Chain A
Amino acid sequence: MINLVWFLLLAVGIIVGAVTGNIDAVTDAAINNARTAVDISLGLIGVMALWLGIMKIAEDSGLIKFIARALRFIMIPLFPDVPADHPAMGAMIMNMAANVLGLGNAATPLGLKAMQELQDLNPHKDTASNAMVTFLAINTSSVTLIPASVIAIRVAAGSANPTEIIGPTIVATIASTIAAIIAVKLLQKLPVFQIKPEKVEEIVNE
């Protein structure tokens, strides 16, 4: 599906751009966004290093296992394929906690750490595991309690009550997170989304 969506974004963009005379803007966007992508990635190096370093201390001291064990009643039903005291559980908990608190700078590095741990458990290295997709579903549905940047824009626009949207935002974010979890558990059973083993012996093993 991602292949089709990616192609359609590109193809529709270029065709519409050519028809409407926006083709120069399309060219600029392609070149500039390629550069932006590299800037964003390189900009991550520092915070990535910081949080991966802190996470390594947390791991070596046994803190990650402790957190994972404390919250296993939530984590095991969500991620049945991940062992209860695996470091992946701890990293995912840390990522979700950072998201809830609105610590975007910490959330991404912690999330990527969790992905690495999940990748260690993943038998098909180029294919997403059920645990990975579940983790991403929770992440993309957003679980932030206080949308700080939205409030800042509302203040700047002269809102009489810039924080009134917090309650409704929490309702909407809970709805989307529940939908994400239900969708992930239903869709992972569909034949289209089954992992396709590339070698015959893998089928025998399964």
Chain B
Amino acid sequence: MFDTFIDFMTGVSKYAIPFILLSIPLFGVIKKVKVYESFTDGAKEGFQTAIRIIPFLVAMLVAIGVFRASGAMDYLVDLASPITRLIGMPGEVLPMAIMRPLSGGGANGVMTEIINTHGADSLYGRMVSIMQGSTETTFYVLAVYFGSVAIKKTRHALPVGLIADAVGLVTAVLVARLMFG
């Protein structure tokens, strides 16, 4: 049953983009839309949007890059691990929890390292796999999405994103312990 679901979803993912690229213009033709003119009209916004993101992404990636390169992460792990151990998060996977909202590539690196050290089918290996799949790179998403419309005052967006990350990461730890512990 589970395998069928995976096969089905893989098939959906594989054909989704060609399907959309066919069906939307087809629907347009049926509705007598001048599809080529509409497409180019919409597409010309692409350049502006991409350019608008640059300052926001530079600000975010530079700050995160500096933080990562300095080795401050190790101190943060030492500082936070007594607290996170209370909720069942082992010190070994804490770097993953800290890295996940900051940097997608960084989290990928941490995950690969933990999987290579402890094994993909170890408890830690499974924990970090679930962590990586169940949350997003909050800082990156905020920079790109708000940047694209030049929003500077983000209000409660960052705290909300971090709360969601924390809940997702802790749930990942708990579910991993429950299923594989």
Contacts and interface: CB of A to CB of B under 8 A. Distances in A.
The A contact surface, by secondary structure, is helix
Contacts of A10: 62-63, 66-67
A81 B179 CA distance: 41
B116 A111 contact: no
Interface size class of B (residues with CB under 8 A): 35 or more
Contacts, number: 371
Interface residues of A, number: 113
A16 interface: yes
A22 B47 contact: no
A137 B160 contact: yes
A168 B27 contact: no
A159 B120 contact: yes
B69 A26 contact: yes
A50 B43 contact: yes
A149 to B, nearest CB: 7
Contact of A128 (B47, B108, B120, B154): B154
Contact of B156 (A40, A111, A188): A188
The B contact surface, by secondary structure, is helix
Interface in A145-193: 145-150, 153-154, 157-173, 175-180, 183-184, 187-188, 190, 193
A78 interface: no
Contact of B134 (A132, A142, A146): A142
A1 B161 CA distance: 12
Contacts of A141: 135-136, 161, 164-165, 168
A112 B49 contact: yes
Given A137-B164, A176-B164, A49 B70 contact: no
A32 B65 contact: yes
A136 B141 contact: yes
Interface of B: 2, 6, 9-10, 12-13, 16-17, 20-21, 24-25, 27-28, 30-31, 33, 35, 38-47, 49-51, 53-54, 57-72, 75, 101, 108, 111-112, 115-116, 119-121, 125-126, 129-138, 141-142, 144-146, 148-161, 163-169, 171-172, 175-176, 179
Interface of A: 1-2, 5-6, 9-10, 12-17, 20, 22, 25-26, 28-30, 32-34, 36-38, 40-42, 44-50, 52-63, 98, 101-103, 105-106, 108-109, 111-112, 115-116, 118-119, 124-128, 132-133, 136-137, 139-142, 144-150, 153-154, 157-173, 175-180, 183-184, 187-188, 190, 193, 195
